[in-house]
Amino acid sequence: MRDGNEDSALISSRLVAVADGMGGHAGGEVASKIAIMSVRALSEVLNDPALDDESREDLLLNISFSIDHEIAEAANADRALQGIGTTLTALHLNGENVELLHIGDSRCYQWQGKKLIQLSYDHTVMQELLDQGRLTQDEVFTHPQRSLLTQALIGDSGIDPILHLHKVKVGDQFLLCSDGLSSVLSEHEITSIIKKVDSTDVVDELVHAVLEKGAPDNVTILWVEIIEGSDNSPTKLLGAAQE
């Protein structure tokens, strides 16, 4: 429902990513685009067969620091961009594992049969209160400050990125999204939609459900499946990264 889109995303054969920009007045668009374009450049390097697994993991983990530095440079060069930032959730297929890099409150879920499992950890004040037992999940979902971040790529070097590895097999499915989905639909609602539609219709049905509830934020959704076959599919950019 918004005039502008501050989300950016990338789809490629082995690497997918979602970035949710913040800052307003085009600043969020700039930050999320910086993140996704950096991930795009990295994707070509990660596919180099000469790289060992440890080097590949290091490169993926350290891209967050490069993005943070580039955001700082952009903000220093243009006062109108002061205060910009972005989340980043990226999933990379490496052999029998997927590597999850995550900063902020965009999310990565794994769909296991009939169950939706959140693999990412929300870097929010609400998640910390939830961990401490001071709020319930229902209270977090409806809290007006549920999107207040404790970590984001904002150019201040105050990040502590962690790379999580998960074993995968052919047929495994994943959902990556900005909080334009997860702050509007509950996990129960998301699960119900995934259960009742064909895999090819998941994204459209989720977006439709968000729009029916007013879509107060930009929403970006990627539905990913591990398949056998060629990995030469072209890279696609979505949202602000297209411009």
Question: Percent of the chain, pLDDT > 90?
Answer: 66
Residue 173 lies in a domain: yes
Residue 2 counted as domain residue = no
pLDDT at 231: 72
Q: Lowest-confidence range among 119-123, 132-136, 143-147, 190-194?
A: 143-147
Q: Which domain holds residue 194?
A: 7-242
Predicted local confidence at residue 157, as pLDDT: 76
Write the pLDDT tens digit of every residue in 186-207: 999 999 999 999 999 999 999 9
Residue 168 belongs to a domain: yes
Of the candidate ranges 12-26, 99-113, 173-187, the one whose mean pLDDT is the lowest: 12-26
Q: What is the mean pLDDT of the chain?
A: 90
Structural domains in the chain (count): 1
The answer to the question of residue 1 being in a domain is no
* pLDDT of 24 strictly over 70: no
The candidate with the shortest Cα–Cα distance to 2, out of 34, 32, 19, 25, is 25
Residue 217 Rama label (left phi>0; alpha psi -120 to 50; beta): beta
Strands (E), the chain: 7-11, 15-22, 85-86, 88-94, 97-103, 107-112, 115-118, 163-167, 173-177, 221-225, 236-239
Taking the C-alpha atoms of residue 77 and residue 37, their distance in angstroms, rounded to an integer, is: 19
- CATH number for the domain spanning 215: value is 3.60.40.10
Any domain includes 100:
yes
